[in-house]
Amino acid sequence: MELKPILKKMLELEASDLHLKVGTPPTIRINGELTSFGTDPLTRDDLRETASSLMTKDQQSRFLEEKELDFGLGVPGVSRFRVNIYIQRGSIGIAIRPISREIKTIKELNLPSILEEMALAIRGLILVTGTTGSGKSTTLASMLEYLNKNKRKHIITIEDPIEYLLSDKKSIISQREIGTDTKSFRSSLRHVLRQDPDIIMIGEIRDIETMETALKAADTGHLVFSTLHTLNAPETINRIITFFPPYQHQHIRVLLSSVIKGIISLRLLPRKDGTGRIPATEILVSTPTIREYLLDEAKTRQILDTIREGEQYHMHSFDQSVMKLYKEGIIDFETALENVNNPDEFKMRLKGIEQSSKRW
């Protein structure tokens, strides 16, 4: 199988993902929808030879040991890609995602301008959340690039794998890849505070030790960026707290209330005109009320209401973001209804029925 022509065609069609699997033709995802690319199903030999050609000998050894592998790949004359090779039903599967060489600005990504203000925070913790493929890495790269252009700082990133390649502008940037430059998130984070960072970007928080280090770094005067696979701000807060045993929960609430600067949650929705996707967002900004509600378990459930009513702080909920996109004619009614948290209330709001004082 000649992979390079497929990757080129994938970029021409602006596909977000390529899936290679035994017994199925190459499959690409365009605007969130999967479609077959070609007609000939792939064989075990196709996948074995393709996987071998993509990996170095060291990566092949790691794959044989762990049965799956994430890495970045630059294809000369084509682009850079994020590759995941895994085993399914005893055969190899491959998922490939293109990474743009150009880092788009926050404005070009149609993200709220408050992200620029967050990126220039002096210290604290900023989390970008969402499902796989919702734009977390792209958003983080855009925020780091904005910081890179505007501040003289030392930025250290710890990624698995490195996706966007950042070059020094006003800041100096050290990018470290798991498996190549460091053994693991844990081992890298044990030493990162001795490397004189101003800003630390952790590609993903996966365990209690990583979370603990992120909170500690933010508490000791660093600005920390990271991602979580959570759907919205309240779920993100609950996930952070439940990383830890119950006897630590109140301590973590106190720590989180002092370091959190913002939570940006993302969902990519198909545009009505079929020209691609646009992000719907939920934005939490640290305010005195948010910090108070973080401290008290009984009040934490009121955080979503505070987000809805926090327009003066540039906060908004997913439902408010989806409503705005629908009213502007960017997404259609079915897409809006599928992506709001409360479809019934959404429909009533469209009919002008006010059920509460919350802003939409």
What pLDDT does 237 receive? 97
What pLDDT does 183 receive? 86
Strands across the sheet with 223-228, in order? 172-177, 154-159, 199-202, 223-228, 124-129, 260-270, 277-285
In a domain, 154, yes or no: yes
What pLDDT does 331 receive? 97
Q: Which two tokens stand for residue 139?
A: 């958003």
What pLDDT does 353 receive? 52
Q: Which two tokens stand for residue 12?
A: 């021409």
82 plus 210 within the same structural domain: no
What pLDDT does 300 receive? 95
User: Structurally, how many domains does the chain consist of?
Assistant: 2
Residue 94's CATH number: 3.30.450.90
Domain span at residue 41? Answer: 3-99
183 plus 323 within the same structural domain: yes
What pLDDT does 357 receive? 45
What's the pLDDT tens digit per position in 78-114? 899 999 999 999 999 999 999 888 899 999 999 999 9
Residue 97 sits at the vertex; the CA angle it makes with 91 and 98, to the nearest 5 degrees, is 140
Residue 208's CATH number: 3.40.50.300
Q: Which of 47, 76, 99 is the last residue of a domain?
A: 99
Q: Is residue 351 helix, strand or coil? A: coil
In a domain, 358, yes or no: no
Which regions in the chain score pLDDT beneath 70? 353-360
**How far is CA 19 from its chain centroid?**
20
**How far is CA 360 from its chain centroid?**
25
Does residue 234 have a cis bond before it (omega within 30 degrees)?
Answer: no
8 A C-beta contact, residue 283 and residue 262: yes
91 plus 136 within the same structural domain: no
120 plus 90 within the same structural domain: no
